Structure 1
Amino acid sequence: MNDLKTSEDIRKRIAELEAQTGNMEIELKRKFSVTVDSLSPGNLLKNTLSGLNETPGLKSALFSTILNLGLSFTGGRMLFSKGGIAKKAAGVALELGAGKLLSKNINILKRFAANLFTKDKKVA
């Protein structure tokens, strides 16, 4: 620690420490603002989705899951809706058939989805 011998030295040191404290408060407020901004729902979603793009194999698994859920939902709506036995049987058949078809042709569906969402589309 510095040897402070006079009251003028003490005042200078107090002024230095107050300036340092002020700078630290400003930096803390800036970091808090950045943190609050990064925790907004939009930024959380954006950061999560950008992280998904970097994870290998996750896109295909996510695509398969979403496709299966969509087909299950459609089949379930037919299965549990008010209607006759034929409509319910059609719902079960749709769900099972689509699941089997999806598992066989998943690579074709992945390529189709990738081509559907690419940015460099050719205009005829």
Structure 2
Amino acid sequence: MQNTTYTTKLKNAIQLLEVEQADKEQLLKEQFQQTYESLKPVNLLKSTLKDITSSSFLKESVLGSSVGLASGFLSKKIVVAGSGNIFRKLLGSIVQFGVTSIVAKNPEAIISLGRFLIKNIPHKKDINSNKP
């Protein structure tokens, strides 16, 4: 009698372990599928771009560098102004380098100056409303 209770307990324990094994196997398959999907090149690119766009520090540094490069380029164009003179081109490159480095190091000041100018420059609509 005691022998049959042990065998039934053993069978029940085996069934519980088989159910547990099946659950773990299913979880392992799901985890493998998630890992496989996340390692696809398209998904890696998506997650990298998402990380980049969510980083405020990176946004600010890219914005500062972009503003610096653009302002340096414009300042060179203004200095050179289509001249064929080698000295003006050299001076334009020096000005471009200087303006780019200054603006890239201080983007907050440039952005606040731009906002101030946009706010305080009278718009066409404002000028027309002030006329009698």
TM-score by length of 2: 0.49
Identity %: 16
CA change 1:47–1:60 in 2 (3 A) is closer
In structure 2, C-alpha distance between the alignment counterparts of 1:10 and 1:101, rounded to whole Å: 77
Over alpha carbons, which structure has the higher Rg? 2
Task: Name the aligned partner's letter for residue 110 of structure 2.
Answer: N
Correspondence 1:65 to 2:70: no
* Structure with greater helix share of residues: 2
Q: Is the 8 A contact 2:71 2:100 kept in 1?
A: yes
Correspondence 1:105 to 2:110: yes
Q: Which runs of 5+ in 2 are unaligned?
A: 77-85, 117-132
Q: How many aligned positions are there?
A: 98
**Per-residue CA distance 1:82-104 (angstroms, 9 max, x = gap):** xx454233111122234446745
Correspondence 1:43 to 2:11: no
Task: Identify which of structures 1 and 2 has the higher relative contact order when contacts are C-alpha pairs closer than 8 Å and 6+ apart.
Answer: 2
Q: How does 1:1-124 map to 2 (within 5 A)?
A: 5-39=5-39, 40-52=43-55, 55=56, 59-68=59-68, 84-100=86-102, 103=106, 104-108=109-113
In structure 1, C-alpha distance between the alignment counterparts of 2:66 and 2:5, rounded to whole Å: 74
TM-score by length of 1: 0.51
CA change 1:108–1:71 in 2 (3 A) is closer
CA RMSD of aligned residues (A): 3.8
Task: Name the aligned partner's letter for residue 25 of structure 2.
Answer: E
